[in-house]
A and B are shown apart, each in its own frame.
Chain A
Amino acid sequence: MASAKRIFLGYMLSIIIGIFVGLAIVRFKYLDENVSPLILGLQTLPSICWLPFSILWYGLNESAIIFVITIGSTFAVSIAIESGMKNINPLFVRAARTMGAKGFSLYWNVIIPASLPSIISGLKQGWSFAWRALMAGEMISATKGLGQVLMVGRDLADISQVMAIMIVIVILGVAVDKLIFGKMEINIRQKWGLDKV
């Protein structure tokens, strides 16, 4: 399905960019002081507001929609990574340093695994942002895909089609959440012992 391909591409791109931006902010204090407020500001901008920009930039095609998806979820991912890494227990880092961890190995062996719970919740949030951006993009500028079918339903005044598509969107969202993120979360919660309330 066209929508699935778009969201997959856009979401993967946003994860990659988001991780790099998040890591860079954590690593370099200069970036943290100067870029973080900007990212927070951009995060408040609804992804549909990027649509006119991306249509002007890319034209009415696939790239425009993928751009909107990417930009819609990148900031959520990078903010989650940044706050996740800043809020890990400093004792983990101290202990690792006395055992000889520094630079890359410190990040790979300690900081990233320690912040995984919050990284996953960031990815989850990014997913829902990406999904919204996809719908917005498709409703306005696509020739196929779920959003476009939704708009066709509106044009034909066919309320049953409109409702059916809305339900499909919700079901897809829940399915991905349960099957992918849900499993990761349960796995981590068991390992860390967070499920014993």
Chain B
Amino acid sequence: MSVVVENISKSFITKNDTINTLSNINVEFHKGEFVCILGPSGCGKSTLLNIIAGLEKETSGRVVCNGKEVKGAGPDRVVMFQEPALFPWLKVIDNVEFGMKLAGIPKDERREKAMKYLKMVHLTRFQNCYIHELSGGMRQRVALARALTLDSEILLMDEPFAALDSQTKNILQLELQQIWLETKKNIIFVTHNVEEAVLLADRVIVMSANPGAIKKEFHIQLARPRQPDNIDLAYLAADIMKELKEEVEKVAKAEFDTNWTSKKDLVLPDSDSDMGTGI
């Protein structure tokens, strides 16, 4: 029971040339594992997630999910997007029930389960509100509850907390960690935030850009539940940041004017200068 990505490549054809977004990606996600895919912007990490979800078609290669090849989107691989993607014409509770309604689950059972997951994200008080009455963080919680109701073993998350303010983000990260510990789903989480990846994941996959490929894997074997101010996390984050820095510079060089140099305009800190941490 796992997701296997075999030799996935993806290229877009534009007017002038072909852009290789992903080239020969091979990776395996195991049951109950929390994996973060980390990479600079434009490295194709969201594309990879969409291919696993079945929302985009790969150019070559295949994705095998629980022994079956992926042929399109389906409720066994629920996606949580950066935007909550909730339906404004439905109440909160109906939004949470939406997937179960499509699956044809009877009304009583549906309601009961929806309440269970709303309780998990602490929003039972707002079950009869419409979406526009909720704050951004609350909306993303509803989206999480909706994704959990389908009982899929695989949960795909495409930068779900990137649009939230940092306090709300911290709370939701810790809650997601808790929910993962309770449900033991296989979560594939795309992010560009190193601290977030280190905090949440068992395994961090760092991608390189142009064309997108897997650069390195980090196994994070720290005790859970993890706290964001843990010093070991900071040490690991610095380690991963070093790997990522090169890629960010590469993308920046490709996108910015030629007078941009990584030495002069460098934003990311050099982790080697912090002698003494993590010893």
Contacts and interface: CB of A to CB of B under 8 A. Distances in A.
Interface stretch (B73-81, B174-182, B192-200): B73-81
Contacts, number: 70
B88 A94 contact: no
Interface in A143-197: 188, 190-193, 196
A39 B244 CA distance: 54
A97 interface: yes
Range for the number of chain B residues in contact with chain A: 20 to 34
A17 interface: no
B130 to A, nearest CB: 5
B89 A116 contact: yes
Contacts of A91: 81, 83, 85
Interface in B114-169: 130-133, 146, 150, 156
B8 to A, nearest CB: 18
Interface string B198-211: 00000000000000
Contact of A100 (B53, B74, B83): B74
B75 A114 contact: no
Contacts of A96: 98, 102
B79 A110 contact: no
B55 A99 contact: no
The 4 closest A-B pairs by CB, nearest first: A193-B132, A100-B75, A95-B85, A99-B99
12 contacts: A94-B73, A95-B79, A97-B55, A98-B55, A99-B99, A99-B102, A100-B73, A100-B102, A114-B87, A192-B89, A193-B131, A196-B132
Interface of A: 91-92, 94-101, 105, 109-110, 113-114, 116, 188, 190-193, 196
